[in-house]
């Protein structure tokens, strides 16, 4: 048995009272949390700083790891997407696979135990099958034309079936309001809800999204012209994605990712036990040089979790770095930020029985943090 104490222990929900001892077995499964263990003092492992459960990266694009440093900062989302499309053919699958392996290992070393990962193909599946990290893969579907919704859904279903055939966890996910039809979103929502699996969608990441949804000319019209996609059939819905997909968002669990330009009424409209706002602050700064209005989410009682987005839009895949940006630019407490990095992410992905908190008979990871100069620093993985 291991007997572990620390200056402070965060259990996924709150800081435990002083004097708590974690009792772990030889496989680092938690046996109990006690305050009255009659053991010799030299049998106790004592850690300075904070101990907390392993981190959950609720939104990642592992398959873009080979884009590290390839796209300049502050281009805006439409230009960023255009550069991803332009640059992708110049990279080999071998390089992409190699970089995914490297960054999968890096995330594990960064104290991350579970990841919600966006997938557009099957290249990452072998890595996930062998990884020490638990992955929930969101098979991302894109298609704005409602007449193509069923075909796009069926193509995504084939990739999903390949994923689960390898013993991996996942679900289907619409990309973003500016790139999917209401019909496609409803197909996905019904499918995931029937399986009790979460859905994920990029939400209000750019001002250009609002323009596109309102029918104003802007960056996404330029992007579709660049992609040679005819939108002459389209009538703008004159509403944002939250309103357009209102019925779908009532079905099952949802991660709304980014929320950079969400307003107070959007937060009110999405305040629901099954809806989580996933913040990726360093990616927001990288692409748009803009952050969500965090005080609106705090005052609105939002359930929020954290993600890294991709290495096309970030300098690292490190939840501690995201925690520090949130801490710097918001009034969220340390407990709220730690909960977002652990339990909230696990609940959003539907894996809270395995990860996100100190769970009896489970090894949900254990990280040692220091809080210095108002910044978190990962010292080491305890388990």
Rounded to an integer, what distance in angstroms lies between the CA atom of residue 96 and that of residue 88?
Answer: 10
At the topology level, CATH places domain 55-355 in TIM Barrel (3.20.20)
Tracing tokens 């890595």 back to the chain, one arrives at 127
DSSP 3-state percent helix, strand, coil across the chain (nearest 5): 40, 25, 35
Rounded to an integer, what distance in angstroms lies between the CA atom of residue 372 and that of residue 383?
Answer: 23
End-to-end CA distance of the chain: 13
Q: What's the residue count for the chain? A: 383
Nearest to 23 by CA among 7, 44, 9: 44
pLDDT digits (tens), the chain, 383 positions: 899 999 999 999 999 999 999 999 999 999 999 998 666 767 899 999 999 999 999 999 999 999 999 999 999 999 999 999 999 999 999 999 999 999 999 999 999 999 999 999 999 999 999 999 999 999 999 999 999 999 999 999 999 999 999 999 999 999 999 999 999 999 999 999 999 999 999 999 999 999 999 999 999 999 999 999 999 999 999 999 999 999 999 999 999 999 999 999 999 999 999 999 999 999 999 999 999 999 999 999 999 999 999 999 999 999 999 999 999 999 999 999 999 999 999 999 999 999 999 999 999 999 999 999 999 999 999 99
Alpha helices, H only, the chain: 77-87, 93-109, 125-130, 149-165, 182-194, 207-214, 219-226, 241-244, 264-269, 281-287, 294-299, 319-329, 334-341, 343-349
* Residue 104, pLDDT score: 98
* Residue 36, pLDDT score: 83
Provide the CB-side half-sphere exposure for 142 (13 A, CA): 11
Rg (alpha carbons) of the chain, rounded to whole number: 21
Q: Which residues pair with 56 in a beta bridge?
A: 114
Tracing tokens 């259990």 back to the chain, one arrives at 11
Region(s) of the chain under CATH 3.20.20.140: 55-355
Structure token digits, residue 115:
């990841």
* Residue 39, pLDDT score: 67
């Amino acid at each position: 048995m291991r007997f572990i104490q620390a200056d402070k222990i965060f259990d996924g929900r709150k800081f435990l009272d002083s004097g708590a001892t974690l009792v772990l077995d030889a496989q680092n499964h938690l046996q109990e949390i006690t305050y009255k263990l009659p053991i010799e003092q030299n049998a106790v492992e004592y850690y300075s700083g904070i101990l907390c459960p392993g981190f959950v990266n609720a939104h990642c694009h592992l398959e873009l790891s080979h884009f590290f440093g390839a796209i300049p900062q502050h281009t805006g989302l439409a230009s960023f997407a255009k550069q991803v499309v332009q640059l992708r053919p110049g990279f080999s699958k071998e390089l992409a696979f190699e970089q995914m392996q490297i960054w999968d290992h890096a995330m594990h070393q960064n104290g991350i135990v579970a990841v919600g990962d966006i997938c557009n193909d099957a290249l990452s599946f072998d890595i996930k099958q062998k990884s020490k990290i638990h992955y929930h893969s969101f098979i991302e579907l894109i298609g704005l034309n409602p007449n193509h919704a069923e075909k796009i859904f069926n193509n995504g279903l084939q990739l999903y079936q390949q994923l689960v055939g390898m013993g991996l966890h996942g679900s289907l996910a619409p990309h973003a309001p500016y790139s999917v039809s209401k019909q496609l979103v409803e197909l996905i929502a019904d499918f995931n809800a029937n399986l009790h699996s979460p859905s994920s969608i990029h939400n209000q990441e750019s001002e250009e999204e609002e323009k596109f949804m309102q029918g104003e000319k802007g960056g996404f019209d330029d992007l579709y012209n660049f992609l040679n996609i005819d939108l002459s059939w389209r009538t703008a819905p004159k509403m944002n994605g939250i309103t357009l997909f209102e019925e779908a968002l009532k079905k099952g669990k949802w991660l709304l990712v980014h929320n950079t330009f969400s307003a107070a009424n959007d937060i009110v409209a999405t305040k629901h036990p099954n809806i989580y706002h996933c913040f990726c602050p360093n990616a927001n700064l990288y692409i748009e040089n803009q952050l969500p209005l965090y005080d609106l989410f705090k005052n609105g009682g939002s359930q929020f979790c954290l993600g890294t987005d991709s290495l096309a839009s970030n300098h690292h895949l490190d939840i501690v770095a995201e925690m520090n940006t949130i801490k710097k630019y918001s009034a969220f407490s340390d407990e709220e930020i730690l909960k977002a990095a652990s339990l909230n992410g696990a609940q959003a992905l539907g894996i809270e029985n395995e990860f996100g908190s100190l769970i009896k008979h489970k090894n949900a990871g254990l990280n040692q943090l220091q809080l210095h100069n108002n910044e978190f620093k990962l010292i080491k993985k305890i388990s």
